[in-house]
Structure 1
Amino acid sequence: MNSRYFCLLLLLLAPLDAAFSQEKPGWIKRAIQKAISDTTSPGKPSFRIYPTLAYSPETSFEFGFSSLLLFQAKNDTLNRLSEIQAFTFITLEAQYGIWLDNAIYGDQDKWFFLGRTRFQRFPLLYYGIGPETSGHEPALIDANYLLLRQRVLRKIVPNLFVGPEVDYQQLYNTSFNQPEGNHEYEAPLGSDGTRNLGLGAALVYDNRHNVLNVRKGLFGEISFLQYAPKLGSDYKFYGVNLDIRSSHPTNARNVLAWQLYGNFLSGNVPFNQLALMGGEMIMRGYYSGRYRDKNMLAFQTEHRWLPFRFSKRIGGTVFAAAAVVAPKLNEFSWKHIRPSGGVGLRYLLFPKKDIFLRLDVGFTKEGPGFYLFTGEAF
């Protein structure tokens, strides 16, 4: 089962950009021009909202809106660019959701708030646990899902931040549906509903100036989270997360970037909080959770043209990745490494802030996955 298919109406209409300079454009052109034109001055907040359309077999058609707010503390261009992204959707199967991501820097980087929020009623495809699960006829776990994760970080020296982290995840109103005529899956831990609260700390190094389109910079994070019944969790487990990203300009327009990502968990981990391979950020082309287990290592690299030499707004990328999951650290195996790769288009939505929309197509041996988001994958 592939990832959701996204189509952005404004991106499809981007070739009309040259026509916007015509005298007295119609109201449709004026609306599109307003949506894609960046009229804010440097340092001033910018906001965009645009429609999305998606399709997948488990949801039918999905309609939604994405929005992006960009700003710099005290409207000072010397401060880093902060971003708040929101996405809301509803499907023809009466499923719905709201996503919110934030990376907010205070004045002179004194504080850094990094987090994400998810609330959705949306089916989760379940292929089993482990590095060799079958890709045929996954089970379907329908549930309400809530995620609240936030890091509140304080600068201790330039570019180095430390602070507490909280993670709350809940599944409720769940139903575990076996493939029709097939009952091969055992119900995993947490499939009847689960609520877990984790507390911990994160250490982050970040010298990026533009989080959504890093031309040059290094981001490194290591964090620890402990979940326990005394904190209100249904299960007791803990995890260590590692995320290292580096971007290197090859010339004024081109960027070569790479990322190393790892999840390492121990204890009674519910299925929805295992390390998940796939999704819109890493291992594009695989459904998020196509492979899952207590441990995962992943690496990806990407070359970006931002924009192409022949265009002021259109760019592109090529990327490749590999990842592996295992129940224990000493059980990682070369034979279980899964590769993926793909290509993408970019559209410069905020020229003055150097922010692109990305439309990526990731390829695996199981088929393609399509992704549309604001900002780069990493």
Structure 2
Amino acid sequence: MDSKRFTKCAFVVLLLAPILVSAQNPTNVLQQNTVVKRDTAKQTDLIDLAKALFKISPKKIRTERDKKVYFSFLPVSSAVPGGSGRALITSTTAATYLGPRKTTNISSATFTPYLNFKGRYGLPLRSSIWLPNNEWLIQGDIRFLVYPQYTWGLGSQAANATPTLVDYNYIRFYQSALKQIKPYFFAGLGYNLDYRFNIGTDDPNVNLKQYTKYEYGTEKNSFSSGLSLNLLYDTRNNSLNPLPGMYGNFIYRVNPGFLGSNNSWSSVYLDVRKYISLNPAKPIQQNTLALWSYMWTSLSNKVPYLDLPSVGWDPLNRSGRGMEQNRYRGKSLFYLEAEYRRDITNNGLLGFVVFSNVNSVSGSGALFTSWKPAAGTGLRVKFNKASKTNIGMDYGFSKGFSGLTFNIGETF
């Protein structure tokens, strides 16, 4: 990455950071030491509907003890990346409080296996554990995937108009531990492992290295093992359904050869989000404008191809709704998304969202010279009002592509 491009990226990041990440005493956010009256009696979720349908008598008083675990389960048939047909996908989320609710965020773990009965499957497990009083945050991301994925080459103006299908097996092991430095601000270290093996194309006449015109990580195996410096600013009380607040995440990753990496390389990822309540007088009712932006850039010239910044490959694989995952890949990526969230029913059972996003990548051209937009809308169904967990169904579209996505919890 040349110095001019890096300077340009850094300048944009510096412009964004003051807007989306404020000082220690934020406004428009529910403070952790504020007592919030939980008026869940007026809210309705799918659990309430099931009780009514099967005539299960609820308790007169709904008790919510500390450390009670809330489960959400979503079975669905959907397409898997790479156009390999439909798959059975299940998503199970367990959420609980590990400390006093007034001072501790809700912890969650999500297991989302999929299988399409044609040798394609995935076993991802993600966790976000908040210890009592938010003194520590333990984050994990473990995956084993047999993963087909189309690729178009590098840049917004990739030379290859026709994609090629890349097939590989993928093991990811990410773990980080962050200590609270002051309210809402955390710092810590992490370990990141990305191991892709049996890399190849479905077409024996297509050589991935020649197709992408990229030398690193395009033949057989790719092994990246590194350490990360993590800085986090988070005023959200619930990551499954964020209340008004702010979020900022900075990750500097370095992958030295002595940890086993095929090549020594480093990268920077900066993620900033803002949640604005448009009806603060009624915090229980959803009427929120959510903004999300991230800058992801490689700082070395030997980053393996499949480790390069790519739309849809942010840490939670949530960006780029309305685009095919991996559609745009480059040495740097800038992403921006806005979403309006609103309840349809007064009891919170049903809601909707409207969203749009845009990205720019470098590779075949300079960053910010080509922009690729997408947009869409979605339905929300309240699964569990105690943990504020929604089931999300979104339809997104962009030039040449449209598709449905299903989530437990909000996209961001």
Is this a same-fold pair by TM over 0.5?
A: yes
Identify the residue that residue 187 of structure 2 maps to in structure 1: 162
2:252 to 218, 221, 224: 224
Superposed CA deviations along residues 118-152 of structure 1, whole A, max 9, x for unmatched, are 21102021111122126743111111101112221
Q: Structure 1 stretch 198-207 or stretch 129-138: which is displaced more?
A: 129-138
84 and 15 in structure 1: CA distance in 2 versus 1, 3 angstrom threshold: closer
- Counterpart CA distance in 1 for 2:50 and 2:149 is 43
8 Å CA contact 2:103, 2:134 repeated in 1: no
Q: Would the aligned equivalents of 1:151 and 1:166 in 2 still touch at CA under 8 Å?
A: yes
Q: 2:196 aligns with which of 171, 183, 187?
A: 171
Q: Equivalents in 1 of 2:362, 2:199: separation in Å?
A: 26
1:140–1:179 contact (8 Å) kept in structure 2: no
Aligned partners of 2:276 and 2:302: how far apart in 1? 40
Corresponding residue number in structure 2 for 1:243: 271
Task: Verify: 1:190 aligned to 2:227, yes or no.
Answer: no
Instruction: Select which of 274, 290, 309 maps to 1:275.
Output: 309
Q: TM-score with structure 1 length normalisation?
A: 0.85
Task: Note the C-alpha offset of 1:337.
Answer: 0.8
Query: C-alpha distance in 1, partners of 2:333/2:105?
Result: 31
Higher RCO (CA < 8 A, seq sep 6+): 2
1:248-303 CA-to-partner distances (Å, cap 9, x unmatched) read 11113201110110111022011111100136522211122111011011111111
Corresponding position of 1:258: 291
Counterpart in 1 of 2:26? none
Count of residues in correspondence between the two structures: 351
Contact preservation (8 Å) 2:228, 2:252: yes
Which region of structure 1 is more displaced relative to structure 2, 169-178 or 198-207?
A: 169-178
Aligned partner (choices 352, 364, 381) of residue 347 of structure 1: 381
Q: Is 1:81 matched up with 2:106?
A: yes
- The residue identity in structure 2 corresponding to 1:319 is F
Query: Quick one: which amino acid aligns to residue 359 of structure 2?
Result: A
Residue pairs, 1:1-378, within 5 angstroms: 21=52, 41=64, 43=66, 44-55=68-79, 58-74=83-99, 76=101, 78-133=103-158, 136-178=161-203, 185-186=211-212, 188=214, 189-191=216-218, 192-251=220-279, 252=282, 253-265=286-298, 266-278=300-312, 281-305=318-342, 307-310=343-346, 312-327=348-363, 331-334=366-369, 336-378=370-412
**1:321 Cα deviation after fit:** 1.1
Structure in which a larger fraction of residues adopt strand: 1
Amino acid at match of 1:259: W
Q: Which amino acid aligns with 1:215?
A: L
Normalising by structure 2, we get a TM-score of: 0.78
CA shift in 2, pair 1:76/1:278, >3 Å: closer
Q: Residues 341 and 316 from structure 1, CA distance in 2 versus in 1: closer, same or farther, beyond 3 angstroms?
A: same
CA shift, 1:64, in A, is 2.9
Three-state SS of the structure 2 residue aligned to 1:331 is: coil
Match of 1:230, SS state, is helix
**In 2 relative to 1, CA 50–284 (structure 1 residues): closer, same or farther, beyond 3 Å?**
closer
CA shift for structure 1 position 347? 0.8
AA paired with 2:238? N
In 2: Cα distance, 1:97 partner to 1:160 partner: 34
Taking the aligned partners of 2:135 and 2:179, their CA distance within structure 1 comes to: 6
What SS is found at the alignment partner of 2:217?
coil
Q: Is the 8 A contact 1:199 1:227 kept in 2?
A: yes
Question: Amino acid of the residue matched to residue 368 of structure 2?
Answer: S
Kept in 2, the 8 Å contact 1:42–1:353? The answer is no
Q: Which amino acid is the alignment partner of residue 69 of structure 1?
A: A
- Whole-angstrom CA distance in 2 between matches of 1:290 and 1:172: 21
State the alpha-carbon separation in 2 of the partners of residues 245 and 61 from structure 1. Answer: 33
Structure 2 unaligned residues grouped into runs of 5+: 1-44
Unaligned 5+ residue runs, structure 1? 1-13
Aligned-partner SS, 1:193: strand
**Once the 2 structures are TM-superposed, how far is the Cα of residue 201 of structure 1 from its aligned partner?**
0.5
Distance 1:236 1:17 in 2: 54
Deviation at 1:154, TM superposition (A): 0.3
- The percent of aligned pairs where both chains have the same amino acid is 25
Separation in structure 2 between the aligned mates of residue 63 and residue 160 of structure 1, nearest angstrom = 39
Q: Find the residue that maps to 2:324 and give its secondary structure.
A: coil
Q: Is the 8 A contact 2:99 2:133 kept in 1?
A: no
Q: Distance in 1 between matches of 2:292 and 2:115?
A: 32
Matching residue's letter, 1:216: P
Please tell me whether the aligned partners of residues 236 and 267 of structure 1 are also in contact (alpha carbons under 8 angstroms): no
The answer (yes or no) to whether the contact 2:76–2:88 under 8 Å persists in 1 is yes
SS of the counterpart of 1:122?
strand
Question: Which amino acid is 2:64 matched to?
Answer: S
Contact 1:152-1:164 at 8 Å conserved across structures: yes
